[in-house]
Chain A
Amino acid sequence: MFKRLILEDSSVWYVITAFVTAATIFLTITWRALRMPRTEVEKFAQLPFTTDANERHDPHA
Chain B
Amino acid sequence: MSGQKITIEYNDRVVRQFLLATVIWGAVGMLVGVLIAAQLNFWQLNFATPWLTFGRLRPLHTNAVIFAFVGNMMFAGVYYSTQRLVKARLASDFLSALHFWGWQFIIVCAAVTLPLGLTRGKEYAELIWPINLMVVLIWVVFAVNFFWTLARRREPALYVAIWFYISTIVTIAMLYIVNHLSIPTSLLHSYPVFSGVQDALVQWWYGHNAVAFFLTTPILGIMYYFLPKAAERPVYSYRLSVVHFWSLVFVYIWAGPHHLLNTALPGWLQNLGMTFSLMLWAPSWGGMLNGLLTLRGAWHKLRTDPVLKFYAAAVTFYGMSTFEGPLLSIKSVNALAHYTDWIIGHVHAGTLGWNGFMAAGMIYWLLPRLWNKPLYSTALANLHFWIGTVGILLYVAAMWTSGITQGLMLNATTEHGTVLAYPNFLDTLNTIRPMMLMRVIGGGLYLAGWFLLVYNFYRTVKGAAPVNGTIEVYDEAPAPDAKLSLAGTFFSAPTVFWFLAVGFGSMWMFGTDLVSTAGIVGAVACLIAAFALVPSRSKAWGGWYEKLLLNALPFTLLVFFAVVAGGLIQIIPTVLVQKAKNVEDRIQTPYTPLELAGRDIYIREGCYLCHSQMIRTLVPDILRYGDYSRLGESIYDHPFQWGSKRTGPDLARVGVKYPNVWHLRHMEDPRAISPGSNMPTYPWLLNHSYNASVLPAKIKVQRMLGVPYGPLTAQQIFDSMDEQAKGIAKDLRTAGAYVDSDKEIVALISYLQTLGKSLPVITKSAPR
A: residues with CB less than 8 A from B are 1-3, 5-8, 10-15, 17-19, 21-22, 25-26, 29-30, 32-36, 41-51, 54-59, 61
Contacts and interface: CB of A to CB of B under 8 A. Distances in A.
B234 A49 contact: yes
B243 to A, nearest CB: 5
Contacts of B768: 3
Contacts of B229: 48-49
B242 A36 contact: yes
Given A35-B542, A48-B228, A56 B470 contact: yes
**Per DSSP, are chain B's interface residues mostly helix, strand or loop, or mixed?**
helix
Contacts of B243: 26, 29-30, 33
Given A17-B505, A22-B250, A51-B84, A5 B239 contact: no
Contacts of A58: 9, 467-470
A61 B85 contact: no
B235 A45 contact: yes
A18 B159 contact: no
Given A11-B271, A33-B242, 7 more contacts: A12-B271, A26-B247, A35-B542, A44-B238, A57-B468, A61-B466, A61-B467
29 contacts: A3-B768, A5-B573, A6-B577, A8-B267, A11-B271, A14-B271, A15-B272, A15-B275, A18-B275, A18-B276, A19-B275, A21-B505, A22-B250, A22-B251, A22-B276, A26-B246, A26-B250, A29-B243, A35-B542, A42-B234, A43-B157, A44-B157, A44-B160, A55-B84, A56-B471, A57-B372, A57-B469, A59-B465, A61-B12
B4 interface: no
B545 interface: yes
Nearest to B254: A18
Interface stretch (B113-121, B433-441, B506-514): B506-514
A1 B507 CA distance: 11
A32 B467 contact: no
Contacts of B246: 25-26, 29
A34 to B, nearest CB: 6
A1 B469 contact: no
**Per DSSP, are chain A's interface residues mostly helix, strand or loop, or mixed?**
helix
Give the interface residue-count category, chain B: 35 or more
A48 B505 CA distance: 40
A15 B384 CA distance: 45
A14 B465 contact: no
Interface in B229-287: 229, 234-235, 238-240, 242-243, 246-247, 250-251, 254, 266-268, 271-272, 275-276, 279, 282-283
B509 A14 contact: yes
B225 interface: yes
B730 interface: no
B267 A11 contact: yes
B710 interface: no
4 closest residue pairs by CB, A with B: A11-B268, A45-B234, A57-B467, A61-B468
B700 interface: no
A30 B246 CA distance: 9
A26 B196 CA distance: 34
A14 B268 contact: yes
Given A26-B247, A61-B13, A18 B266 contact: no
Contacts of B466: 61
Contact of A2 (B12, B13, B576): B576
A49 B161 CA distance: 13
A48 B240 contact: no
Contacts, number: 146
Given A29-B242, A57-B469, A58-B467, A8 B268 contact: yes
B234 A48 contact: yes
Contacts of A10: 268, 509
A13 B291 CA distance: 36
B370 to A, nearest CB: 9
A48 B268 contact: no
A27 to B, nearest CB: 10
B731 to A, nearest CB: 40
Contacts of A47: 85, 155, 157, 159
B481 interface: no
B722 to A, nearest CB: 41
Nearest to A19: B275
A3 B472 contact: no
Contacts of A29: 242-243, 246-247
A2 B100 CA distance: 47
Interface in B434-492: 465-472
A46 to B, nearest CB: 6
B767 interface: yes
A15 B274 CA distance: 9
B369 interface: yes
Contact of B472 (A32, A42, A54, A59): A54
B87 interface: yes
Contacts of B627: none
A21 B501 CA distance: 10
Given A1-B511, A26-B243, A46-B234, A19 B469 contact: no
Nearest to A35: B542
B242 A57 contact: no
A5 B510 CA distance: 8
B584 interface: yes
Contacts of A41: 238-239
Nearest to A47: B159
B84 A32 contact: no
B266 A2 contact: no
A36 B548 CA distance: 14
Contacts of A43: 157
B464 to A, nearest CB: 10
B485 to A, nearest CB: 21
Most A C-beta atoms less than 10 A away, residue of B155, B161, B238, B768 = B238
A32 B505 contact: no
B582 interface: yes
Interface string B525-564: 0000000000000000010010000000000000000000
A11 to B, nearest CB: 3
Contact of A44 (B13, B159, B267, B471): B159
Contacts of A11: 266-268, 271
A29 B576 CA distance: 34
A2 to B, nearest CB: 4
A53 to B, nearest CB: 9
Interface string B567-584: 000000100110000101
Nearest to B294: A45
Nearest to A30: B243
Nearest to A56: B470
Most B C-beta atoms less than 10 A away, residue of A2, A22, A25, A41 = A22
Contacts of A12: 271
A32 to B, nearest CB: 6
B202 to A, nearest CB: 17
Contacts of A22: 247, 250-251, 276, 279
Contacts of A26: 243, 246-247, 250, 282-283
Contacts of A44: 157, 159-160, 238
Contacts of A8: 266-268
Nearest to B565: A21
Contacts of A35: 542
A55 B469 contact: yes
Given A1-B512, A26-B243, A59 B372 contact: yes
Given A44-B157, A61-B467, A2 B510 contact: yes
